Amino acid sequence: MRTPAPRTPARRARSRVRAAAFASATALLLGLAGVPDAHAYADTHADAGTRHRPATLDSLAERTGRYYGSAVDNPELGDTAYADLLGTEFGSTTPGNGMKWYATEPRRGVFDFTAGDEIVAYAQTHKLKVRGHTLVWHSQLPGWLENGTWTADELRAILKNHITTEVRHYKGKVFAWDVANEIMNEDGTYRENIFYKTLGPGYIADALRWAHAADPGVKLYLNDYNVEGLGAKSDAYYKLIKQLKADGVPIDGFGMQAHLALQYGFPSDMKGNLQRFARLGLDVAITELDIRMILPSDAAELAQQADWYGQVTKACLAVRRCVGITLWGYSDRHSWIPSVFEGQGAALPWDENLRHKPAYDAIAKVLAAAKRGE
Write out the catalytic residue numbers: 182, 288
CA distance readout (Å), 257 to 84, 160, 312 = 25, 25, 11
Spatial separation of the C-alpha atoms in residues 220 and 244, rounded to whole Å: 12
Pairing status of strand 283-294 against strand 344-345: antiparallel
3-state secondary structure of 114: helix
Spatial separation of the C-alpha atoms in residues 195 and 141, rounded to whole Å: 12
Q: Do the Cβ atoms of 108 and 145 come closer than 8 Å? A: yes
Return the closest-CA partner of residue 304 out of 263, 338, 352, 351: 263
Give me the residues paired with residue 356 across strands.
Answer: 350
Q: CA angle at residue 51 from 50 to 57, to 5 degrees?
A: 45
Spatial separation of the C-alpha atoms in residues 163 and 30, rounded to whole Å: 46
Strands (E), 147-196: 176-181
Spatial separation of the C-alpha atoms in residues 369 and 367, rounded to whole Å: 5
Bond into 358 cis (ω within 30) = no
- Chain centroid to Cα 310, Å, comes to 16
Spatial separation of the C-alpha atoms in residues 348 and 360, rounded to whole Å: 9
CB under 8 Å to 157, separation ≥6 — which residues? none
